Amino acid sequence: MKITVITVCFNAIETLEDTLRSVFVQDYPNVEYILKDGGSTDGTLAVLEKYRSKLAHIITEPDAGMYDAYNVALKYATGDIISLLNADDMFANPEILSHVVRRFQTSRADAVYGDLIYVNRTFPDQVVRYWRSGFYRKDRFRMGWMPPHPSFFLKKEAYDLYGGFDTRLQSAADYELMLRMLYGKGLTASWLPEVLVRMRSGGKSNASLRGHLFANREDALAWRYNGLQPHPLTFLLKPLRKLPQFILKP
């Protein structure tokens, strides 16, 4: 199986090289790596040029944000499995893609997901939160559950059939995509119980009370856009599920 890893970036000079190296050291041989840059001006393009020979495509053009950039890059993807790795995230170790492919092969699932750790933005060896995903059941979405998007691997045929990111959403398009694919379309998913990605903390949807309220509104829109009915407590339980992440350790 061939894996396409996609990273989108914009002025990511401080973190991008760590992301790139975490992909280049993977022991799985059949990897296509695509970079989509939105027109960086901080030296990011020089970093990409440095690694051009290891990248299948470098797409440099303006975009309407991260989700639009991913949609553009998806058009270039030729792998059987798609991995979306943000420019400040890193695969947790060199065996991640091998393990993911093996789980796809043994489970025959449409998607594979794992655990995620949030790390200090400046000191990435310092763990801030641990997101233990747990086993997938369709009804858990109504109880506020979701897999961590950076550790979510999906077959390309699912994107071909059901589309990419809904760019009407500013912060919850990743949630909407997973909700649509797993809950709405009934695709199968398998949990790989290990940390797959190290994610630098500091997401905009979690930065303030206003950010939480905005994210909550977008989560509701994700259900509405798909014609799905949430549980009355879905949007209360979803943020509450984050609390154990500050206690658990990988």
Q: Is 11's pLDDT higher than 70?
A: yes
Residue type, 233: L
**What are 53's two structure tokens?**
């020979």
**Domain chopping of the chain, boundaries:** 3-246
What does the pLDDT look like over 175-211, one tens digit per residue? Answer: 999 999 999 999 999 999 999 999 998 754 445 556 6
List of residues 6+ apart from 203 with CB closer than 8 A: none
**What are 5's two structure tokens?**
């890893």
What does the pLDDT look like over 115-174, one tens digit per residue? Answer: 999 999 888 889 999 999 999 999 999 999 999 999 999 999 999 999 999 999 999 999
**What are 215's two structure tokens?**
């994210």
| Cα–Cα dist 89/66, whole Å | 14
Reduced to 3 states (helix: H, G, I; strand: E, B; else coil), residue 71 is helix
So what's the pLDDT on residue 205? 47
Mean local confidence (pLDDT), 69-89:
97
What does the pLDDT look like over 21-48, one tens digit per residue? Answer: 999 999 999 999 999 999 999 999 999 9
Name the CATH architecture for the domain at 3-246.
Alpha-Beta Complex (3.90)
CA 41 from chain center: how many Å?
25
Reduced to 3 states (helix: H, G, I; strand: E, B; else coil), residue 210 is helix
Band (20; pLDDT cuts 50, 70, 90): very high
Q: Is 90's pLDDT higher than 50?
A: yes
